[in-house]
Amino acid sequence: MTLSGARNLHPLVIRAVEKPLITQILTEMKWNQVQAAHVLGINRNTLRKKIRDLCICRPGDADREPRRKSL
């Protein structure tokens, strides 16, 4: 592995592991985001952002429109 390859390894590993890990923890915690965030060692708001950014949906929610904040 070249030095430039080693520098790019971290983002590759994160991309490969983060979504399945968060999905698994959410499933085990019955989608309780407070508990899932605690298990993951991150803030609940950080977890919510990752759920949104990684397009993680509850099973059965994929067909629903995303919620929007009311003004």
DSSP letter string, 8-41: THHHHHHHHHHHHHHHHHHHHTTT-HHHHHHHHT
Q: How many domains does the chain have?
A: 1
7 inside domain: yes
- pLDDT value for 66: 59
Contact 35, 29 (CB under 8 A): yes
Q: What is the pTM of this model?
A: 0.74
C-alpha distance across the termini of the chain, in Å: 52
- pLDDT value for 28: 98
69 inside domain: no
- pLDDT value for 64: 64
23 inside domain: yes
Residue 20 belongs to domain spanning: 3-53
16 inside domain: yes
20 inside domain: yes
CATH of the domain at 14: 1.10.10.60
- pLDDT value for 56: 97
Spatial separation of the C-alpha atoms in residues 1 and 5, rounded to whole Å: 6
The pLDDT averaged over each successive group of 10 residues in the chain (71 residues) is 71 94 98 98 98 94 64 60
49 inside domain: yes
60 inside domain: no
Q: For 43-68, give the secondary structure using H, E and C.
A: CHHHHHHHHHHCCCCCCCCCCCCCCC
